[in-house]
Chains A and B, each alone.
Chain A
Amino acid sequence: MYVAVKGGEKAIDNAHALMREQRRGDTAIAELSVEQIKQQLPLAVDRVMNEGSVYDPELAALALKQASGDSVEAIFLLRAYRTTLPRFGYSEPVDTEQMQIERRISGTFKDLPGGQVLGSTYDYTHRLLDFALLAEGDSALSEPEQASNNMGVLQSDLSANNVGVPQFPSEARTETKTSDKLEACPRVLELLNQEGLIEQSRADGEEDITPRDLTRQPVNYPAERAVRLQNLIRGDEGFLLSLSYASMRGYGDSHPFAGEMRSGLVSVELVPEELGFPIEIGEVMLTECEMVNQFHGSKDQPPQFTRGYGIAMGRAERKAMSVALVERALRAEELGEAVNYPTQDQEFVLSHTDCVSANGFVSHLKLPHYVDFQSELEMIRRLRKAASEASAQPSEDKADTAGEKI
Chain B
Amino acid sequence: MSSQLSSQLNKPATQTAGAEGYNFAYLDEQSKRMLRRAMLKAVAIPGYQVPFGGREMPLPHGWGTGGMQLTATVIGEADTLKVIDQGADDTTNAVSIRRFFAKTAGVETTEHTADASLIQTRHRIPERQLRNDQILIYQVPIPEPLRFIEPRETETRKMHALREYGAMQVKLYEDVARFGHIATSYDYPVMVNDRYMMDPSPIPKFDNPKMNQMPALQLFGAGFEKRIYAVPPYTKVMSLDFDDYPFEVQSWEESCSICGSDHSFLDEVIMDDAGNKMFVCSDTDYCRERVEQGFTAENPEGQQGLTPEPNQSQQERKTQDDTKAEEMAP
Q: Direct A–B touching in the complex (beta carbon < 8 Å)? A: yes
A residues with a Cβ closer than 8 A to B are 1-9, 11-12, 76, 79-80, 82-87, 213-222, 273-274, 347, 351, 354, 356-357, 359-364, 367-372, 374-379, 382-383, 386-387, 390, 397-399, 401-406
Q: With a CB–CB cut-off of 8 A, which chain A residues contact B297?
A: 1
| B212-252 contact mask (Cβ, 8 Å, vs A): 1 or 0 | 00000000000010100000000000001111110000101
Taken together as a complex, chains A and B put the C-alpha atoms of A308 and B226 apart, in Å, by 28
Q: Is the CB of A357 within 8 A of B61?
A: yes
Instruction: Give the nearest-CB partner of A53 in chain B.
Output: B56
CB contact under 8 A between A354 and B266, given known A218-B52, A379-B185, A406-B240: no
**B141 on interface, CB distance cutoff 8 Å:** yes
**B85 on interface, CB distance cutoff 8 Å:** yes
Q: Which of B199-217 contact A (CB under 8 A)?
A: 202-206
Instruction: Give the nearest-CB partner of B297 in chain A.
Output: A1
Question: Which residue, of B92, B187, B226, has the highest number of chain A Cβ atoms within 10 A?
Answer: B92
Instruction: Give the nearest-CB partner of B21 in chain A.
Output: A84
Q: With a CB–CB cut-off of 8 A, which chain A residues contact B280?
A: 2, 4
Q: With a CB–CB cut-off of 8 A, which chain B residues contact A213?
A: 53
Instruction: Tell me the smallest distance from the CB of B163 to a CB of chain A, in Å.
Output: 9
Q: Which of B2, B152, B266 makes the CB contact (< 8 A) with A347?
A: B152
CB contact under 8 A between A83 and B56, given known A1-B258, A405-B243: yes
Q: Is the CB of A84 within 8 A of B23?
A: yes
Q: Is the CB of B244 within 8 A of A347?
A: no
Q: With a CB–CB cut-off of 8 A, which chain B residues contact A6?
A: 90
Taken together as a complex, chains A and B put the C-alpha atoms of A80 and B58 apart, in Å, by 5
**B30 on interface, CB distance cutoff 8 Å:** yes
Closest 7 CB pairs of A and B: A360-B61, A364-B62, A218-B51, A360-B60, A375-B185, A379-B185, A80-B58
Taken together as a complex, chains A and B put the C-alpha atoms of A216 and B55 apart, in Å, by 8
Q: With a CB–CB cut-off of 8 A, which chain B residues contact A404?
A: 169, 173, 242
Q: With a CB–CB cut-off of 8 A, which chain A residues contact B185?
A: 372, 375-376, 378-379
Q: With a CB–CB cut-off of 8 A, which chain A residues contact B58?
A: 80
Instruction: Tell me the smallest distance from the CB of B145 to a CB of chain A, in Å.
Output: 13
CB contact under 8 A between A386 and B180, given known A8-B91, A12-B96, A364-B141: yes
Taken together as a complex, chains A and B put the C-alpha atoms of A3 and B122 apart, in Å, by 22
Instruction: Give the nearest-CB partner of A395 in chain B.
Output: B180
Q: Which of B61, B181, B252, B282 makes the CB contact (< 8 A) with A356?
A: B61
Q: With a CB–CB cut-off of 8 A, which chain B residues contact A218?
A: 51-54, 226
Q: Is the CB of B51 within 8 A of A220?
A: yes
Q: Offer 12 A-B interface pairs, CB within 8 angstroms, sorted by A.
A: A3-B258, A9-B90, A76-B56, A215-B55, A274-B1, A347-B153, A356-B61, A360-B65, A372-B186, A374-B267, A386-B180, A404-B169
Q: Is the CB of B224 within 8 A of A12?
A: no
Q: With a CB–CB cut-off of 8 A, which chain A residues contact B92?
A: 8, 11-12, 368
Question: Which residue, of B122, B165, B186, has the highest number of chain A Cβ atoms within 10 A?
Answer: B186
**B191 on interface, CB distance cutoff 8 Å:** yes
Q: Is the CB of A372 within 8 A of B96?
A: no
CB contact under 8 A between A403 and B242, given known A364-B62, A368-B86: yes
Q: Which of A7, A359, A402 makes the CB contact (< 8 A) with B245?
A: A402
**B148 on interface, CB distance cutoff 8 Å:** no
Q: Is the CB of B30 within 8 A of A87?
A: yes
CB contact under 8 A between A83 and B258, given known A4-B280, A7-B90, A390-B180: no
**B124 on interface, CB distance cutoff 8 Å:** yes
**B300 on interface, CB distance cutoff 8 Å:** no
Q: Is the CB of B287 within 8 A of A4?
A: yes
Q: With a CB–CB cut-off of 8 A, which chain A residues contact B60?
A: 76, 356, 359-360, 363-364
Q: With a CB–CB cut-off of 8 A, which chain A residues contact B52?
A: 218
Taken together as a complex, chains A and B put the C-alpha atoms of A6 and B284 apart, in Å, by 10
Instruction: Give the nearest-CB partner of A5 in chain B.
Output: B90
Q: Which of A76, A364, A377, A386 makes the CB contact (< 8 A) with B268?
A: A377
Q: Which of B53, B181, B250, B265 makes the CB contact (< 8 A) with A386?
A: B181
Q: Which of B19-57 contact A (CB under 8 A)?
A: 22-23, 26-28, 30-31, 34, 51-57
Q: With a CB–CB cut-off of 8 A, which chain B residues contact A9?
A: 90, 95, 99
Q: Is the CB of B282 within 8 A of A216?
A: no
**B75 on interface, CB distance cutoff 8 Å:** no
Q: Is the CB of A379 within 8 A of B28?
A: no
Q: Is the CB of B62 within 8 A of A273?
A: no
Q: Which of B22, B30, B180, B282 makes the CB contact (< 8 A) with A374?
A: B282
Q: With a CB–CB cut-off of 8 A, which chain B residues contact A11?
A: 92
Q: With a CB–CB cut-off of 8 A, which chain A residues contact B278?
A: 2
Q: With a CB–CB cut-off of 8 A, which chain A residues contact B63?
A: 360, 363-364, 367
| B94-130 contact mask (Cβ, 8 Å, vs A): 1 or 0 | 1110010000000000000000000000111000000
Q: With a CB–CB cut-off of 8 A, which chain A residues contact B55?
A: 83, 215
Question: Which residue, of A5, A85, A213, has the highest number of chain B Cβ atoms within 10 A?
Answer: A5
Question: Which residue, of A83, A213, A219, has the highest number of chain B Cβ atoms within 10 A?
Answer: A83
Q: Is the CB of A4 within 8 A of B22?
A: no
Taken together as a complex, chains A and B put the C-alpha atoms of A369 and B30 apart, in Å, by 34
